[in-house]
Amino acid sequence: MAQIGYSKEVMEHFMNPRNVGVIESPDGYGKVGNPVCGDLMEIFIKVNDNKVDDIKFRTFGCGSAIAVSSMVTEMAKGQPLEEAMKITRKDVADKLGGLPPQKMHCSNLGADALHAAINNYWVKIGKIKPEEVKTEEGHDGEEGESCET
């Protein structure tokens, strides 16, 4: 199967993903999926001193989804929660050196799962109420998107 224009960074994070695994009893947990292509991402965080002290991910999906998960965990590790919440889908794709257009939806899932994990923590500690959690738009996939490559 031919590569479809993946950057060296995408290939590196796909072949050698960082922060893979599960944190037992995490402080925050986020899970998002894309029903169109079947990708599913879970992010687990441990928080210390209002910073992302530890972060792990479990992803079921294509190589881009794995690379995005790996990169978003690297970007968030050690960051204050407020800063980690500012990590956007575009930030993740840019840090990976870009993604092919048909894979951009994969970058949505990484940021969304991170934000979901932080929101989950904030609800647990009473910083926000469950009804204040904003759900991310656009991780349902665009028609015709698939992660077959």
DSSP characters over 69-120: HHHHHHHHTT-BHHHHTT--HHHHHHHTT---GGGHHHHHHHHHHHHHHHHH
Q: What is the model's pLDDT at position 12? A: 95
95-149 confidence digits (pLDDT tens): 999 888 777 777 678 999 999 999 999 999 999 999 988 765 544 433 334 444 4
Catalytic residue list contains 147: no
Catalytic residue list contains 106: yes
Domains of the chain, each with CATH number or no CATH: 8-126 (3.90.1010.10)
pTM for the model = 0.86
Q: What is the model's pLDDT at position 148? A: 47
Average pLDDT over residues 54-77: 94
Which residue among 32, 37, 41, 111 is the active-site one? 37
Confidence of residue 61 (pLDDT cuts 50, 70, 90): confident
